[in-house]
């Protein structure tokens, strides 16, 4: 499993020159689109699990003077460090975690699950290292592990909020009123980032820069209001990126005067999120406008790439179907049936989202959405990224989805990882093909776009923007060097 996934790094590095463009909008480290032979060799070494050797050749001086090459090598070193963090769990550590739920688990079980492709791991410098978020994927994919889990002693779960009940209400209100925006929910959010003193040691006089996510005023998301904002407990006016910025931010900066005190940036805002429900009908679909922006039908390497495998697969799936909406349904249903959800690596270490998803037939929301976007574009249906948070009453989480363009309705949402819902009603089963629920916060209208103001270093998340970003004196602080906290109220009730 990991050998296949690791091979993606080498595969992306060896793509054609058309794929090797140094673009600031790739949503990936420039190392993944570099033609530098040293980086290509380092990628091959990483693919073979020789991390230390790759780091050594990247750090050596071969006399090059190209600033772009220097940056790409520096970022590749950073990526390797991030990969080490992703796979920082050794056998003893993983067994300790597993035994909390499977008390008799052994090293032999781990090998069995590895051989079956049911556990995520890499061989790093000769040692098997496991994905830091395991055993979450083991309990998704291993029937053996699931059957041996301790039974919950909490009794039967009490009935509570169910997504399908909300979707039924959305359909009912939309059909009875004729409105597309229904079931509004008022959200209040408190979001903060804290940079501890351990990340500030020796930094007195340095410039700390912080970007926080901020909601868009977009279609079914309305009435966005900034309520309050503070920096280190004192009122501060952050720079709010203009509405419709591809990745909307609230920006804070501060000269560090006392490195013994942590830095905290905090914002409080409100918005109203409606469900979005169109009465879609294949018979009403029209051709794209003649002046439509073809960007949304194009490749965008490395994450959106029309590989021969993807093109052949799309041709088989759509199988001569000419109606764009029907094509989308076919693609959506194929991914739903053939790609399983799993806990994912940080996106910054994945060279190509769509290629990774298709090669593994696994992926989280963003990875599945990018495959969906790629396949729609290859099928002649415009598609693009959207992301932010999902805010269900049972808990919030970061989330990615997509939009497709279908005339005469325009851009409509599609949530690939939510998949076909378990319902006999086709309106509920296929709800997420062209519709959206009320439990959302839209932050990003695209991926991998420059923040406002621009960030100088490789972002912790080069593609998505949901947790925020931190930089000191032009150097990125990775996710493990700061903390974030979020509190959400929906219609006055905290979730």
Cβ pair 216, 443 in contact under 8 A: yes
Whether residue 464 lies inside any domain: the answer is yes
- Nearest-angstrom CA–CA distance, 114 and 111: 5
Judge if 116 and 72 occupy the same domain.
Answer: no
> At residue 262, does pLDDT exceed 90?
yes
pTM recorded for the entire structure: 0.93
Cβ pair 184, 277 in contact under 8 A: no
Whether residue 109 lies inside any domain: the answer is yes
For residue 176, the surrounding DSSP H or E stretch is helix 163-177
What integer pLDDT is reported at residue 12 of this predicted model?
A: 42
Whether residue 443 lies inside any domain: the answer is no
> At residue 320, does pLDDT exceed 60?
yes
Judge if 176 and 294 occupy the same domain.
Answer: no
* 102, 117, 147 - which closes a domain: 147
Tell me which residue range forms the domain holding 143: 91-147
Judge if 421 and 306 occupy the same domain.
Answer: yes
Which residues lie closer than 8 Å to 154 by C-beta, 6 or more apart?
none
* 384, 410, 435 - which closes a domain: 435
Q: pLDDT tens digit string along 410-420? A: 999 999 999 99
Judge if 283 and 429 occupy the same domain.
Answer: yes
> At residue 155, does pLDDT exceed 90?
no
Judge if 285 and 220 occupy the same domain.
Answer: no
Write b or e for each residue in 283-293: b if 16 or more Cβ atoms lie within 10 A of its Cβ, otherwise e: eebeebeeeee
Judge if 283 and 431 occupy the same domain.
Answer: yes
| Six token digits for residue 158 | 């009490």
Phi-psi region of 220 (alpha: psi -120 to 50; beta: other; left: phi over 0): alpha
Whether residue 156 lies inside any domain: the answer is no
Judge if 380 and 340 occupy the same domain.
Answer: yes
Judge if 296 and 419 occupy the same domain.
Answer: yes
Judge if 289 and 218 occupy the same domain.
Answer: no
Q: What share of the chain is helix, strand, coil (3-state, %, to 5)?
A: 35, 25, 40
Judge if 101 and 45 occupy the same domain.
Answer: no
> At residue 160, does pLDDT exceed 50?
yes
* 120, 147, 174 - which closes a domain: 147
For residue 337, the surrounding DSSP H or E stretch is helix 324-338
Number of structural domains (the chain) is 4
Return the CATH number at 392.
3.10.620.30
Judge if 138 and 240 occupy the same domain.
Answer: no
What integer pLDDT is reported at residue 5 of this predicted model?
A: 41
What integer pLDDT is reported at residue 63 of this predicted model?
A: 76
Q: pLDDT tens digit string along 192-242? A: 999 999 999 888 899 999 999 999 999 999 999 999 999 999 999 999 999
- Nearest-angstrom CA–CA distance, 40 and 18: 16
Whether residue 155 lies inside any domain: the answer is no
Handedness of CA 197, 202, 205, 206 (dihedral sign): negative
Alpha helices in 48-86 (DSSP H): 51-59, 67-86
Whether residue 154 lies inside any domain: the answer is no
Judge if 240 and 340 occupy the same domain.
Answer: no
């Amino acid at each position: 499993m990991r050998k296949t996934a690791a091979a993606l790094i080498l595969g992306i590095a060896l793509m054609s020159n058309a794929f090797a463009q140094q673009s600031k909008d790739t949503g990936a480290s420039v190392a993944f689109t570099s033609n530098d032979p040293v980086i290509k060799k380092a990628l091959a070494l990483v693919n073979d699990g020789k991390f230390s050797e790759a780091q050594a050749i990247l750090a050596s001086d071969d006399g090059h003077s190209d600033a772009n090459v220097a940056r790409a090598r520096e970022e590749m070193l950073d990526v390797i460090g991030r990969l080490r963090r992703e796979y920082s769990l050794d056998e003893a550590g993983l067994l300790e975690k597993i035994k909390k739920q499977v008390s008799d688990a052994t090293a032999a079980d781990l090998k069995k699950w590895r051989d079956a492709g049911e556990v995520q791991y890499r061989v790093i410098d000769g040692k098997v290292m496991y994905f830091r978020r395991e055993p979450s994927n083991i309990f998704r994919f291993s029937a053996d592990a699931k059957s041996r889990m301790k039974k919950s002693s909490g009794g039967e779960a009490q009935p509570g909020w169910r997504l399908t009940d909300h979707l039924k209400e959305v359909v009912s209100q939309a059909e009875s009123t004729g409105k597309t925006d229904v079931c509004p929910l008022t959200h209040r959010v408190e979001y903060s980032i804290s940079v501890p003193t351990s990340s500030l040691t020796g930094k007195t006089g340095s410039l700390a820069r912080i970007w926080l996510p901020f909601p868009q005023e977009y279609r079914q998301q309305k009435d966005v209001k900034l309520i309050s904002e503070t920096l280190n407990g004192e009122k501060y006016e952050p720079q709010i990126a203009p509405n419709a910025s591809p990745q909307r931010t609230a920006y804070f900066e501060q000269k560090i005067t006392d490195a013994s005190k942590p830095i905290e940036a905090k914002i409080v805002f409100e918005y109203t999120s409606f469900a979005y429900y169109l009465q879609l009908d294949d018979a009403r679909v029209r051709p794209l406008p003649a002046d439509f922006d073809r960007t949304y039908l194009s490749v965008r390497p490395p994450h959106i790439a029309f590989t021969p495998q993807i093109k052949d697969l799309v041709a088989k799936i759509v199988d001569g179907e000419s109606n764009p909406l029907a094509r989308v349904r076919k693609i959506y249903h194929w991914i739903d049936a053939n790609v399983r959800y799993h806990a994912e690596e940080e996106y910054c270490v994945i060279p190509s989202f769509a290629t990774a998803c298709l090669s593994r037939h696994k992926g989280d929301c963003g990875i599945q959405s990018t495959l969906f976007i790629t396949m729609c574009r290859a099928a002649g249906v415009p598609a693009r990224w959207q992301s932010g948070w999902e805010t269900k009453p049972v808990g919030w989480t970061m989330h990615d989805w997509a939009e497709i363009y279908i005339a005469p309705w325009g851009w409509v949402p599609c949530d690939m990882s939510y998949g076909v819902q378990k319902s006999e009603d086709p309106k509920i089963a296929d709800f997420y093909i062209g519709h959206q629920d009320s439990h959302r916060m839209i932050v990003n209208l695209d991926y991998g776009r420059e923040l406002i103001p621009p960030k100088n270093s490789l972002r912790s998340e080069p593609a998505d923007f949901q947790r925020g970003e931190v930089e000191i004196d032009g150097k990125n602080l990775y996710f493990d060097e700061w903390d974030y906290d979020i509190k959400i109220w929906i219609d006055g009730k905290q979730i």
